[in-house]
Structure 1
Amino acid sequence: MKRLWGIALAVVLLVGVVFAVVRGRSGEAASPDLETVRGVIGSEKLAFFADQRVRDAFARHGLKVEVDPAGSRQIANSVDLNRYDFAFPSSAPAAEQIQRARGAGRTYAPFSSPMVIATFDPIVSLLTAQGVVRPGQVFDVAKYLELTAAETRWDQLPGNTAYPARKNVLVTTTDPRDSNSAAMYLAITSFVANGGVVASPEAEAKVLPAVGKLFLEQGYTQSTSDGPFEDYLSTGMGKTPMVLAYEAQFVDRVVRGDSTIRPGMTLLYPSPTVLSKHTLVPLRPSGDKVGELLTTDADLGKLAATFGFRTADPRYFDQVVKEHGVAVPETVVDVVEPPSYETLERMLEAIGKLY
């Protein structure tokens, strides 16, 4: 009997040791003394912060990071930031506004994602014949605006048997009244229409008639970037021949081996394009720790790359896309800056009044 009790005790001790080791492998579970840090983030980063590997990486530095998602414009305009230790919108203009309003000493931009056109091989062929698409996955925005100014329909393109739809050649976007990606589209198209960054009321008045039509003539638009991108994936070319997206959305799906990415789907890079620069604004010292770790910690950088983000250290993203055979340019060259927050907001409000 004593021997049986001895064996039982040994088993209990062994189970306890194994449990402790397993808990120890998860930094978050290993210590009840983690400092809780709360942030409000652009919704595109929600899956990243929810990933257990990311939570563990923060826990190894003594942090438990809790986040709430919101639109980047909402974060800058209407979210009660007093509840949070950091704000992490998906655009530099929104972060700039928050930094000024809150008197933040610095910001962090640990990763970014260029705006892209997600489309299909037959559409690429049609637009190549029109000079809109050039070699190297380039989408010439100036040539595209020539087509939209003439209100060209798909079925009016010469020799078009692949997609003879009776609707205008337009990129599908989100609602400019709600979404950061639509604001980035406005930044791109207004730059081309103006011949440079829009920086005055006169320039705003000059470009608004042309760029406003790019939104209004789409009809109904969705409020988040997931909506039109899911349409692109699920309904295909018929409904959504071209959709404005974040490069990270497409790369993330490929890396995960998602079956909704099918042969014939491809990315084009607007020329010029803008970066959705995910910019963290610390509101308290603990938020500053999060920004510092996201920028410098190798584990967090590598994990961000697996979610499709271009990281502060480009090696992480380069390795991920090479491993998974994702056809993206190593460097996006023709990148311009968006207008200031105030200018962008005035243009968005003016377009919103036209609906």
Structure 2
Amino acid sequence: MALDTVPRGAAPEDKAARERRAIRELENRLAAAYSENRSADEINVAVRSAHDRFAESSVRDFVPILVERAVRKKFESPDGPETPVVLTKPNAAQKPAEKITAATAAELPPAEGPRGLTTDRRGLFALAGAAGVVAVGATAWAVSRPDSGPAPAAPAAGAPLATVTGVVGSEKLAFFEDQRVVEVFAAHGFDVRVKAAGSREISTSVDLHGQAFAFPSSLPAAERLKREVGVRTHFIPFYSPMAIATFTPIVELLDAAGVVKFDGPAPTLDFSAYIDLVQRGVRWDELADNTAYRVDKNILVSTTDARTSNSAAMYLAVASYVVNDDAVVRGATAEQHVLPTLQRLFLAQGYTEGSSSGPFEEYLTAGMGATPMTWIYEAQYVAAAVEARLRPEMVLLYPSPTVVSRHTVVPLTPEGEEIGALLHNDAGLQALAAEHGFRTGDAARFDEVVTEHDVRVSADLVDVVDVPAYETLEHLIDGVAGAYE
């Protein structure tokens, strides 16, 4: 289930190759989502079986979406019927596909859409392609692709744009400020204005009055917010594995200490071995043959504040899994077992910032002396490469295991729901998200970005663990927070 890359200068992929890439990326997402109770082989068989059902379909644009829906339905409702769907292009003898209207959709029950989107009867979006409109359960999806018909009509000249406001995780601020993103939203009639906040702050303390949507950086934060505001719908337009921004001398030191492995294009940090170093209080200047970073400081990954930031909560999720003997933490006994180590991981850092943009900016500007290892979203590093802000000695190091942060839109108004649907479905926005470092349903575009900018990313996201349940994660965060008092 590797994420392949296209060598620089290679010929553009045909549609079949793009579909194969999308299916491989789908397997990675499903492995992350169902690793607790489904084996990799079982996921692979389910995906291949569902994919085979569309072998005769002549319209291929939406096959990966339909395959994902079929597999998720199978895993979550094993006894549910599997109805084959064949997408065909209309010919002269065929009637055009019937467009689903709000009236006909109202007769249908709520359904779950791709990648965890749920929608009630207000949530209606058209899946537009060269063949017309295809119904997916009770939800239709708007997809604007260069090879699947014209984009939605722009507002009439001079027509005012509808202003839509939202609160987003700080790592997505640059995406929304990108003029190309602004223009795509404007083409759909929207002027989207956002402000940034820590993801946990978004779900706990930020005043969302008057906001159309919230866009935290993880599903747990979004689930908490949904409970608070009484919303059922959410969208997951893109995602990012967690990683560590570091430097070549640091990787070499950790490699000599037996903590780093080189099994792919990017090095990996054995998180269990790292935790052992932390628990023993090992300092950088105690590492053998250390001439590159002789500093009398504990070996620690720098993070954000777990009380406000999602990226720190993701660090806590990985650490708790490792300390809990490679098992997701469940129950009070397990929580109490892992808390002392989690508290040490955070308290030993001293001051930590409230959102992920601060520590990564310090990594880029201050260099190795201040922040030898910084916990980040992979997307931040890729975006910095696109902006030519990385120096030759900078390296992306992946924890093993890692977690995937699913950036989740929680709509608070009908306009917010439209923005969530556009982020999830518009091919232009998905392509621009890849340029900002995020992985999306368009795996090929992400591959093109990292290849073009020579970013060594992890080609295999199988070593991914689940985040603890919402309540457990809150207990662990509260336990860390209490240690500061």
User: TM-score normalized by structure 1?
Assistant: 0.88
Q: Which amino acid aligns with 1:83?
A: G
Structure-2 residue corresponding to 1:3: none
Q: Which amino acid aligns with 1:238?
A: G
CA 1:28 to 1:49, structure 2 compared with 1: closer, same or farther past 3 Å? farther
2:377 pairs with 1:246:
yes
Q: Which amino acid aligns with 1:327?
A: R
Residue pair 1:175, 1:223 contacting (<8 A) in 2 also = yes
2:466 counterpart SS class? coil
Identity of aligned residues (%): 55
Structure-2 residue corresponding to 1:80: 207
2:194 counterpart SS class? strand
Structure-2 residue corresponding to 1:228: 359
Residue pair 1:108, 1:279 contacting (<8 A) in 2 also = yes
Q: Distance in 2 between matches of 1:39 and 1:224?
A: 17
Write 1 or 2 for the structure with the bigger share of helix.
1
Q: Distance in 2 between matches of 1:28 and 1:89?
A: 29
By how many angstroms is 1:154 displaced?
1.1
Structure-2 residue corresponding to 1:290: 419
Q: Which amino acid aligns with 1:124?
A: V
By how many angstroms is 1:30 displaced?
4.3
Structure-1 residue corresponding to 2:392: 263
Of the three residues 107, 118, 134, the one matched with 2:245 is 118
CA 1:177 to 1:102, structure 2 compared with 1: closer, same or farther past 3 Å? closer
Structure-2 residue corresponding to 1:70: 197
2:395 counterpart SS class? strand
Count the aligned residue pairs: 328
Structure-2 residue corresponding to 1:20: none
Residue pair 1:301, 1:313 contacting (<8 A) in 2 also = yes
Over the aligned positions, Cα root-mean-square deviation in angstroms equals 1.8
Q: Distance in 2 between matches of 1:222 and 1:296?
A: 33
2:475 pairs with 1:338:
no
Residue pair 1:28, 1:55 contacting (<8 A) in 2 also = no
Residue pair 2:166, 2:215 contacting (<8 A) in 1 also = yes
Structure-1 residue corresponding to 2:5: none
Q: Which amino acid aligns with 1:205?
A: Q
2:289 pairs with 1:159:
yes
2:399 counterpart SS class? strand
2:332 pairs with 1:205:
no
Q: Which amino acid aligns with 1:120?
A: F
2:314 pairs with 1:184:
yes
By how many angstroms is 1:222 displaced?
2.1
Q: Distance in 1 between matches of 2:303 and 2:474?
A: 17
By how many angstroms is 1:28 displaced?
8.3
Q: Distance in 1 between matches of 2:461 and 2:419?
A: 27
Residue pair 1:188, 1:273 contacting (<8 A) in 2 also = yes
1:80 counterpart SS class? coil
Q: Distance in 2 between matches of 1:158 and 1:29?
A: 69
Structure-1 residue corresponding to 2:255: 128
Q: Which runs of 5+ in 1 are unaligned?
A: 1-26
Residue pair 2:170, 2:357 contacting (<8 A) in 1 also = no
By how many angstroms is 1:115 displaced?
1.0
Moved more, 330-339 or 199-208: 330-339
CA 1:79 to 1:230, structure 2 compared with 1: closer, same or farther past 3 Å? closer
2:181 pairs with 1:54:
yes
CA 1:69 to 1:31, structure 2 compared with 1: closer, same or farther past 3 Å? farther
Residue-by-residue CA offset, 1:217-267 (whole Å, 9 max, x unaligned): 112222222222222222211221111111111111110122xx1111101
Q: Which amino acid aligns with 2:365?
A: S
Residue-by-residue CA offset, 1:63-115 (whole Å, 9 max, x unaligned): 22222222111111122334222111111101111223333232111111111
2:474 counterpart SS class? helix
Q: Distance in 1 between matches of 2:453 and 2:391?
A: 14
1:238 counterpart SS class? coil
Of the three residues 270, 277, 280, the one matched with 2:406 is 277
By how many angstroms is 1:35 displaced?
2.3
1:66 counterpart SS class? strand
By how many angstroms is 1:117 displaced?
0.8
Moved more, 129-138 or 208-217: 129-138
2:368 counterpart SS class? helix
By how many angstroms is 1:203 displaced?
1.1
2:408 counterpart SS class? strand
Q: Distance in 2 between matches of 1:108 and 1:334?
A: 24
2:444 pairs with 1:315:
yes
Moved more, 263-272 or 97-106: 97-106
Residue pair 1:57, 1:300 contacting (<8 A) in 2 also = yes
Structure-2 residue corresponding to 1:329: 458
CA 1:316 to 1:28, structure 2 compared with 1: closer, same or farther past 3 Å? farther
Residue pair 2:155, 2:188 contacting (<8 A) in 1 also = no
Q: Which amino acid aligns with 2:446?
A: F
2:166 pairs with 1:36:
no
Of the three residues 69, 94, 102, the one matched with 2:229 is 102
Identify the structure with bigger relative contact order (alpha carbons < 8 Å, sequence gap 6+). 1
Residue-by-residue CA offset, 1:292-332 (whole Å, 9 max, x unaligned): 11111111011111111111221221111111111112342
Q: Which amino acid aligns with 2:462?
A: V
Q: Which amino acid aligns with 1:59?
A: A
Q: Distance in 1 between matches of 2:156 and 2:170?
A: 26
Residue pair 1:28, 1:56 contacting (<8 A) in 2 also = no
1:160 counterpart SS class? coil
CA 1:160 to 1:92, structure 2 compared with 1: closer, same or farther past 3 Å? same
Q: Distance in 2 between matches of 1:58 and 1:224?
A: 26
